[in-house]
Amino acid sequence: MDKLTIVKVGGKIVEEEDSLNQLINDFKSISGPKILVHGGGRSATAMAARLGVETQMVEGRRITDQSMLEVVTMVYGGLVNKRIVAKLQSKGCNAAGFTGADLSIITSVKRPVKEVDYGFVGDVIDVNTSELRMLIGEGVAPVIAPLTHDGKGQLLNTNADTMATELAIDLAKFYAVSLVFCFEKDGVLLNPDDERSVIRDLDKDLYLQYKSKGIISEGMIPKLDNAFKAFNSGVNMVLITNAKNLTKPSAVGTMIRR
């Protein structure tokens, strides 16, 4: 079974020129088939401000009304995505940019209203990678923005970690998939104020212990929930690390274990 690397990178990495350029060089150097899934939240917030659209967040999650949906579509699917594609092309990496709506890669349903109405936010219900696999087989590196559709013409803002996870699970039927979550820290930290306190290996029991004690909290919880879901659904390897460690050995970062 061929190896496939899926890299999910946070918006902060792709929005700053130096870190983006390093990511481009490192991603290009990954051998074999590869996919890049990216965010872009800070760019969306900045563009919204320029356009006079109010940004509303609840526990770190963006409320996506119609005006904000237009902004994130422009920024995620346009500006950020095409900037990455252009830079990869300049390095000789034959990249192609997509959203989840393109080729109907990911279909979602609008999140039901419970305590909070998140607006046009999508929860993934179906993944179709048949065309992606054809492109990968031709040496194309897909670059995927965090937007999906509901199959009825409606675009939906969708969590990039979740999209990377669902793609990894589906593609694990056809490849030995390595899923790498990249962000600005060196891994999951025992102490958020100590960059050296990286938890090198993390299994589900240890994760639940750290979570109950508040050592792991806030935005790291959904990221790790996605990581364990991927690992328990056939993904070969899941690593959480700093984007600058992308080409270093997998020992650099937090490895998900059984």
- pLDDT at residue 1, rounded to an integer: 83
pLDDT tens figures, 131-150? 999 999 999 999 999 999 99
Grade residue 182 by pLDDT with cuts at 50, 70 and 90. very high
Sort 58 into a burial class: Cβ within 10 Å, 0-12 / 13-18 / 19+: exposed
| Listed residue (83, 91, 85) closest to 15, CA to CA | 83
Over residues 49-72, the mean pLDDT reads: 94
Question: Does residue 11 register a pLDDT over 80?
Answer: no
Question: Does residue 219 register a pLDDT over 90?
Answer: no
pTM of the predicted protein model: 0.95
Over residues 176-204, the mean pLDDT reads: 91
Grade residue 192 by pLDDT with cuts at 50, 70 and 90. confident
Rounded to the nearest 10°, the torsion over CA 26, 31, 236, 249 is -50
- pLDDT at residue 225, rounded to an integer: 94
Percent of the chain with pLDDT strictly greater than 90: 82
pLDDT tens figures, 48-58? 999 999 999 98
- pLDDT at residue 101, rounded to an integer: 98
Cα gap 236→30, rounded to integer Å = 17
Beta bridge partners of 110: 122
Note down the domain range covering 24.
3-256
pLDDT tens figures, 240-251? 999 999 988 766
Over residues 75-81, the mean pLDDT reads: 97
- pLDDT at residue 18, rounded to an integer: 93
Cα gap 199→215, rounded to integer Å = 11
Tell me the average pLDDT of the chain: 94
Q: How many folded domains does the chain comprise?
A: 1
The CATH number of residue 236's host domain is 3.40.1160.10
- pLDDT at residue 248, rounded to an integer: 83
- pLDDT at residue 173, rounded to an integer: 97
Please tell me the least confidently modeled range out of 70-74, 79-83, 180-184: 180-184
